[in-house]
Chains A and B, each alone.
Chain A
Amino acid sequence: GQNIDQPTEMTATEGAIVQINCTYQTSGFNGLFWYQQHAGEAPTFLSYNVLDGLEEKGRFSSFLSRSKGYSYLLLKELQMKDSASYLCARMDSNYQLIWGAGTKLIIKP
């Protein structure tokens, strides 16, 4: 991808909270998306941020700072089914998505 950085892998404990960070190139920015992808399956939409601040949706929240080129996905009350890859993607000036390589989240009991 074009300057989308996120950790390759993270491990967390069931019931805990985990924050997955994403940094991106700020030029030509038109929004930031988070998707979830279980192994062997298609990505599914989690969240969209275009303005600074926190968007909360149940156990999942997403934060954006446009000036810093930074976003994070916060997962609370982790469940085993949250074990998946989490993909950060920014929408560029041509309204196409540029994807990060994804963060594989491993949940341990």
Chain B
Amino acid sequence: IAGITQAPTSQILAAGRRMTLRCTQDMRHNAMYWYRQDLGLGLRLIHYSNTAGTTGKGEVPDGYSVSRANTDDFPLTLASAVPSQTSVYFCASSETQGGYNEQFFGPGTRLTVL
């Protein structure tokens, strides 16, 4: 079934640990995005990639890194997790960036940093 998958579904992590959230899409979309969603704040863009091999910073990039080695995968890494990174993380993709390009979302990863 075409779409976006994310792993893990949920994770409890000790502060200071390194963690990679995985995201894979099979729609051959060029653009991919990582958002975090916190109660009362809405979705905030962490990093994005307009095409394989390129990445860019969003609104809240500090403490996170991404890579885009191929079209399908867009992992998000927390180098040293802190409690303020407790959130629900959504990966999304769109055919291209800009204009009428619906973003398709993965099911999300619920991350708790203690």
Q: Are A101 and B40 touching (Cβ within 8 A)?
A: yes
Q: Are B42 and A97 touching (Cβ within 8 A)?
A: no
How many interface residues does chain B have, given as a range? 20 to 34
**Which residue in A42, A48, A50, A101 is a CB contact (below 8 Å) of B42?**
A101
Summed over the interface, the residue pairs from A and B with CB atoms below 8 Å come to a total of 49
Contacts of A58 in B (CB 8 A): none
Q: Are B102 and A45 touching (Cβ within 8 A)?
A: yes
Check A31/B99 contact, CB under 8 A, given A1-B41, A101-B41: yes
Q: Are A96 and B48 touching (Cβ within 8 A)?
A: yes
Interface of B is mostly: loop
Contacts of A99 in B (CB 8 A): 35, 42-44
Chain B residue with Cβ nearest A96 = B45
| Binary A-proximity of B45-59 (CB < 8 A = 1, otherwise 0) | 100100000000010
Contacts of A48 in B (CB 8 A): 100, 102
| Binary A-proximity of B9-52 (CB < 8 A = 1, otherwise 0) | 00000000000000000000000000100001111110010000
Q: How far does the Cβ of B102 sit from chain A's closest Cβ, in whole Å?
A: 4
Interface of A is mostly: loop
Q: How far does the Cβ of B67 sit from chain A's closest Cβ, in whole Å?
A: 19
Q: Is A43 on the interface with B (CB-CB < 8 A)?
A: yes
Q: Is A44 on the interface with B (CB-CB < 8 A)?
A: yes
Q: How far does the Cβ of B104 sit from chain A's closest Cβ, in whole Å?
A: 8
| Binary B-proximity of A29-41 (CB < 8 A = 1, otherwise 0) | 0110000000001
Q: Which residues of A contact B (CB under 8 A)?
A: 1, 4, 30-31, 41-45, 48, 50, 87, 89, 91, 95-97, 99-102
Name 5 extra pairs, CB < 8 A, besides A42-B108, A43-B105, A101-B41.
A95-B97, A95-B99, A96-B45, A97-B43, A99-B43
Can you list 24 A-B contacts with CB-CB less than 8 angstroms, sorted by A residue number? A1-B41, A30-B98, A41-B108, A42-B107, A42-B108, A43-B90, A44-B105, A45-B102, A48-B102, A50-B99, A50-B100, A87-B43, A89-B43, A91-B98, A91-B99, A95-B97, A95-B98, A96-B45, A97-B43, A97-B103, A99-B35, A100-B42, A101-B41, A101-B42
